[in-house]
Protein backbone atom coordinates (compact mmCIF):
# COMPACT_ATOMS: atom_id res chain seq x y z
CA UNK A 1 0.00 0.00 0.00
CA UNK A 2 1.16 3.56 -0.73
CA UNK A 3 2.12 5.96 2.04
CA UNK A 4 -0.48 8.67 2.45
CA UNK A 5 0.30 10.26 5.84
CA UNK A 6 3.64 10.73 7.56
CA UNK A 7 4.02 12.24 11.03
CA UNK A 8 7.46 13.32 12.24
CA UNK A 9 8.43 14.23 15.80
CA UNK A 10 4.98 15.56 16.68
CA UNK A 11 4.65 17.49 19.93
CA UNK A 12 1.69 19.36 21.34
CA UNK A 13 1.57 21.36 24.56
CA UNK A 14 -1.09 23.53 26.11
CA UNK A 15 -0.41 26.34 28.56
CA UNK A 16 -1.99 27.31 31.86
CA UNK A 17 -0.50 30.74 32.33
CA UNK A 18 3.25 30.15 32.27
CA UNK A 19 2.92 26.43 33.00
CA UNK A 20 3.44 24.12 30.02
CA UNK A 21 1.18 21.07 29.86
CA UNK A 22 2.73 18.64 27.34
CA UNK A 23 0.25 16.17 25.79
CA UNK A 24 2.05 14.69 22.78
CA UNK A 25 5.78 14.15 23.27
CA UNK A 26 7.26 13.01 19.98
CA UNK A 27 4.97 10.99 17.71
CA UNK A 28 6.34 9.35 14.56
CA UNK A 29 4.01 7.30 12.35
CA UNK A 30 3.23 6.36 8.77
CA UNK A 31 -0.27 5.51 7.51
CA UNK A 32 -0.92 3.93 4.14
CA UNK A 33 -3.89 4.12 1.81
CA UNK A 34 -6.85 1.94 2.76
CA UNK A 35 -5.73 1.18 6.32
CA UNK A 36 -8.01 1.11 9.33
CA UNK A 37 -5.99 2.31 12.32
CA UNK A 38 -7.17 2.39 15.93
CA UNK A 39 -5.59 4.76 18.44
CA UNK A 40 -5.92 3.39 21.95
CA UNK A 41 -4.81 4.33 25.44
CA UNK A 42 -6.06 5.58 28.78
CA UNK A 43 -8.34 8.61 28.98
CA UNK A 44 -6.45 11.89 28.74
CA UNK A 45 -3.43 10.38 27.01
CA UNK A 46 -3.79 12.51 23.87
CA UNK A 47 -5.88 10.44 21.45
CA UNK A 48 -8.24 13.29 20.59
CA UNK A 49 -5.36 15.77 20.42
CA UNK A 50 -3.60 13.55 17.89
CA UNK A 51 -6.77 13.26 15.80
CA UNK A 52 -7.29 17.02 15.88
CA UNK A 53 -3.79 17.59 14.53
CA UNK A 54 -4.11 14.87 11.88
CA UNK A 55 -7.36 16.53 10.83
CA UNK A 56 -5.77 20.01 10.73
CA UNK A 57 -8.17 21.27 13.38
CA UNK A 58 -5.20 22.21 15.56
CA UNK A 59 -1.55 22.97 14.83
CA UNK A 60 1.29 21.13 16.57
CA UNK A 61 3.71 22.85 18.91
CA UNK A 62 6.54 21.08 17.12
CA UNK A 63 6.86 18.51 14.35
CA UNK A 64 5.52 17.97 10.85
CA UNK A 65 2.55 16.24 9.22
CA UNK A 66 2.67 15.28 5.54
CA UNK A 67 -0.26 14.29 3.31
CA UNK A 68 0.98 12.86 0.02
CA UNK A 69 4.37 14.48 0.78
CA UNK A 70 2.80 17.91 1.27
CA UNK A 71 3.66 19.40 4.66
CA UNK A 72 0.24 20.69 5.61
CA UNK A 73 1.16 23.09 8.42
CA UNK A 74 3.17 25.25 6.04
CA UNK A 75 -0.21 26.26 4.55
CA UNK A 76 -2.04 29.45 5.49
CA UNK A 77 -5.13 29.08 7.66
CA UNK A 78 -7.34 29.66 4.60
CA UNK A 79 -5.63 26.96 2.52
CA UNK A 80 -5.60 24.61 5.51
CA UNK A 81 -9.37 25.06 5.92
CA UNK A 82 -9.89 24.22 2.24
CA UNK A 83 -7.65 21.16 2.58
CA UNK A 84 -9.56 20.02 5.65
CA UNK A 85 -12.91 20.44 3.93
CA UNK A 86 -11.98 18.35 0.90
CA UNK A 87 -9.52 15.78 2.20
CA UNK A 88 -10.70 14.94 5.74
CA UNK A 89 -14.00 13.58 7.03
CA UNK A 90 -14.87 13.69 10.73
CA UNK A 91 -17.09 11.48 12.90
CA UNK A 92 -17.41 12.22 16.61
CA UNK A 93 -18.89 10.44 19.62
CA UNK A 94 -21.88 12.77 19.45
CA UNK A 95 -23.17 13.09 15.92
CA UNK A 96 -23.39 16.92 15.84
CA UNK A 97 -26.13 16.84 13.21
CA UNK A 98 -27.99 20.09 12.66
CA UNK A 99 -31.38 19.50 14.32
CA UNK A 100 -33.41 21.69 11.97
CA UNK A 101 -32.30 19.79 8.86
CA UNK A 102 -33.23 16.36 7.50
CA UNK A 103 -30.78 13.48 7.18
CA UNK A 104 -30.44 14.25 3.47
CA UNK A 105 -29.79 17.95 4.10
CA UNK A 106 -27.24 17.20 6.84
CA UNK A 107 -25.25 14.89 4.57
CA UNK A 108 -25.39 17.27 1.60
CA UNK A 109 -24.22 20.28 3.66
CA UNK A 110 -20.41 19.78 3.39
CA UNK A 111 -20.72 19.32 -0.38
CA UNK A 112 -22.75 22.51 -0.70
CA UNK A 113 -20.17 24.37 1.40
CA UNK A 114 -17.51 23.02 -1.00
CA UNK A 115 -19.55 24.63 -3.82
CA UNK A 116 -20.77 21.41 -5.38
CA UNK A 117 -24.00 22.03 -7.28
CA UNK A 118 -27.21 21.44 -5.34
CA UNK A 119 -28.32 18.58 -7.59
CA UNK A 120 -24.97 16.80 -7.35
CA UNK A 121 -24.71 17.34 -3.59
CA UNK A 122 -28.16 15.90 -2.94
CA UNK A 123 -27.60 13.03 -5.35
CA UNK A 124 -24.34 12.09 -3.57
CA UNK A 125 -26.01 12.45 -0.16
CA UNK A 126 -28.91 10.19 -1.15
CA UNK A 127 -26.59 7.49 -2.49
CA UNK A 128 -24.49 7.56 0.67
CA UNK A 129 -27.53 7.34 2.92
CA UNK A 130 -28.63 4.33 0.89
CA UNK A 131 -25.16 2.82 1.36
CA UNK A 132 -25.47 3.16 5.14
CA UNK A 133 -28.94 1.61 5.22
CA UNK A 134 -31.06 4.74 5.60
CA UNK A 135 -32.91 4.80 2.28
CA UNK A 136 -36.24 5.15 4.08
CA UNK A 137 -35.07 7.89 6.45
CA UNK A 138 -33.94 10.62 4.06
CA UNK A 139 -36.49 13.20 5.17
CA UNK A 140 -36.28 12.49 8.90
CA UNK A 141 -34.74 15.07 11.19
CA UNK A 142 -32.30 13.93 13.93
CA UNK A 143 -34.98 14.01 16.62
CA UNK A 144 -36.85 11.30 14.70
CA UNK A 145 -33.79 9.05 14.32
CA UNK A 146 -32.25 6.59 16.78
CA UNK A 147 -28.73 7.13 18.12
CA UNK A 148 -27.36 4.53 15.75
CA UNK A 149 -29.17 6.07 12.80
CA UNK A 150 -27.78 9.51 13.67
CA UNK A 151 -24.25 8.09 13.69
CA UNK A 152 -24.87 6.52 10.28
CA UNK A 153 -25.97 9.91 9.00
CA UNK A 154 -22.81 11.44 10.50
CA UNK A 155 -20.70 8.79 8.78
CA UNK A 156 -22.40 9.46 5.44
CA UNK A 157 -21.79 13.19 5.95
CA UNK A 158 -18.09 12.50 6.56
CA UNK A 159 -17.91 10.66 3.23
CA UNK A 160 -19.81 13.10 1.02
CA UNK A 161 -16.78 15.03 -0.29
CA UNK A 162 -14.94 11.76 -0.95
CA UNK A 163 -12.07 12.55 1.43
CA UNK A 164 -8.95 10.40 1.55
CA UNK A 165 -9.13 10.13 5.35
CA UNK A 166 -11.93 9.61 7.86
CA UNK A 167 -11.09 10.55 11.47
CA UNK A 168 -13.42 9.10 14.08
CA UNK A 169 -13.24 10.04 17.77
CA UNK A 170 -15.06 7.40 19.86
CA UNK A 171 -17.67 6.92 17.09
CA UNK A 172 -19.50 4.19 19.01
CA UNK A 173 -18.89 5.51 22.53
CA UNK A 174 -22.48 6.70 22.88
CA UNK A 175 -24.12 3.55 21.47
CA UNK A 176 -25.22 0.26 23.01
CA UNK A 177 -23.32 -2.95 22.29
CA UNK A 178 -25.48 -4.26 19.46
CA UNK A 179 -25.62 -0.89 17.70
CA UNK A 180 -21.86 -0.48 18.15
CA UNK A 181 -21.18 -3.79 16.43
CA UNK A 182 -23.41 -2.79 13.53
CA UNK A 183 -21.48 0.48 13.26
CA UNK A 184 -18.18 -1.40 13.24
CA UNK A 185 -19.41 -3.63 10.43
CA UNK A 186 -20.46 -0.56 8.48
CA UNK A 187 -17.02 1.06 8.85
CA UNK A 188 -15.34 -2.02 7.42
CA UNK A 189 -17.87 -2.25 4.59
CA UNK A 190 -17.34 1.41 3.67
CA UNK A 191 -13.56 1.05 3.89
CA UNK A 192 -13.76 -1.88 1.50
CA UNK A 193 -16.10 0.00 -0.85
CA UNK A 194 -14.44 3.44 -0.90
CA UNK A 195 -10.85 2.59 0.22
CA UNK A 196 -10.55 5.59 2.55
CA UNK A 197 -8.21 5.50 5.51
CA UNK A 198 -10.09 5.28 8.82
CA UNK A 199 -8.23 6.49 11.93
CA UNK A 200 -10.30 5.76 15.00
CA UNK A 201 -9.65 6.84 18.59
CA UNK A 202 -11.46 4.33 20.77
CA UNK A 203 -11.78 2.57 24.10
CA UNK A 204 -13.76 -0.20 22.40
CA UNK A 205 -11.63 -3.35 22.50
CA UNK A 206 -13.71 -5.16 19.87
CA UNK A 207 -13.27 -2.31 17.41
CA UNK A 208 -9.57 -1.89 18.19
CA UNK A 209 -8.80 -5.56 17.66
CA UNK A 210 -10.47 -5.58 14.24
CA UNK A 211 -8.24 -2.78 12.98
CA UNK A 212 -5.30 -3.32 10.66
CA UNK A 213 -3.07 -1.76 13.32
CA UNK A 214 -3.41 -0.47 16.87
CA UNK A 215 -1.40 2.59 17.89
CA UNK A 216 -1.10 2.64 21.66
CA UNK A 217 -0.42 5.99 23.31
CA UNK A 218 1.26 6.05 26.72
CA UNK A 219 2.35 9.31 28.33
CA UNK A 220 2.20 11.18 25.03
CA UNK A 221 4.26 8.66 23.07
CA UNK A 222 3.59 5.54 21.00
CA UNK A 223 4.18 2.36 22.99
CA UNK A 224 5.54 -0.80 21.39
CA UNK A 225 2.89 -2.93 23.07
CA UNK A 226 -0.85 -2.64 23.70
CA UNK A 227 -1.90 -3.10 27.30
CA UNK A 228 -5.48 -4.34 27.21
CA UNK A 229 -6.15 -2.98 30.68
CA UNK A 230 -5.68 0.54 29.33
CA UNK A 231 -8.46 0.23 26.74
pLDDT tens digit sequence for 68-119: 889 999 999 999 998 988 899 998 877 789 999 999 999 999 999 888 999 9
Q: What is the mean pLDDT of residues 21-28?
A: 92
Q: What per-residue confidence (pLDDT) applies to 1?
A: 54
pLDDT band at 223 (very low <50, low <70, confident <90, very high): confident
Average pLDDT, integer, range 156-181: 84
Percentage of residues of the chain with pLDDT beyond 70 = 95
pLDDT of 181 over the 70 cut: yes
Quick one: pLDDT at residue 190?
Answer: 85
For residue 151, the model assigns a pLDDT of 87
Computed from CA positions of residues 221, 71, 158, 131, in that sequence, does the dihedral angle turn out positive or negative? negative
Nearest to 96 by CA among 144, 53, 142, 57: 142
pLDDT at 180: 80
CA pair distance 148, 180, nearest whole angstrom: 8
135 pLDDT above the threshold of 50: yes
Pick one of 3.40.50.300, 1.10.1370.30, 3.40.50.620, 3.40.30.10 as the CATH number of 34-57+76-230: 3.40.50.300
Res 74: pLDDT: 94
What pLDDT is stored for residue 183 in this prediction?
A: 81
Task: Give the start-to-end residue ranges of the domains of the chain.
Answer: 34-57+76-230
- HEC string of the chain equals CCEEEEEEEEEEEEEECCEEEEEEEEEEEEEECCCEEEEECCCCCCHHHHHHHHCCCCCCCEEEEEECCEEHHHCCHHHHHHHHHHHEEEEECCCCCCCCCCHHHHHHHHHHHCCCCHHHHHHHHHHHHHHCCCHHHCCCCHHHCCHHHHHHHHHHHHHCCCCCEEEEECCCCCCCHHHHHHHHHHHHHHHHHHCCEEEEECCCHHHHHHCCEEEEEECCEEECCCCHHHC
Output the pLDDT for position 225: 52
Give residue 231's pLDDT: 44
Q: What is the mean pLDDT of the chain?
A: 88
Instruction: Give the whole-angstrom CA distance, residue 71 versus residue 180.
Output: 35
User: Which of 37, 5, 41 minimizes the C-alpha distance to 23?
Assistant: 41
State pLDDT tens for residues 49-74. 999 999 999 999 999 999 988 999 99
Q: Is the pTM of this model over 0.85?
A: yes
Identify the pLDDT of residue 132.
Answer: 87
Spatial CA neighbour of 81 closest among 102, 63, 59, 60: 59
Model pLDDT, residue 140: 95
Residue 200 confidence (pLDDT)? 92
Amino acid sequence: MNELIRVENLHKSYYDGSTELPVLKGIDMVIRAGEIISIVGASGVGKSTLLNILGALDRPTEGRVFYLQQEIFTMSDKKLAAFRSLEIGFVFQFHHLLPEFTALENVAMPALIARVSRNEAYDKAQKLLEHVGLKERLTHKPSKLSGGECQRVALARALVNNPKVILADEPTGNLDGKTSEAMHDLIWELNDRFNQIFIIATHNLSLAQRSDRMIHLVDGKISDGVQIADL
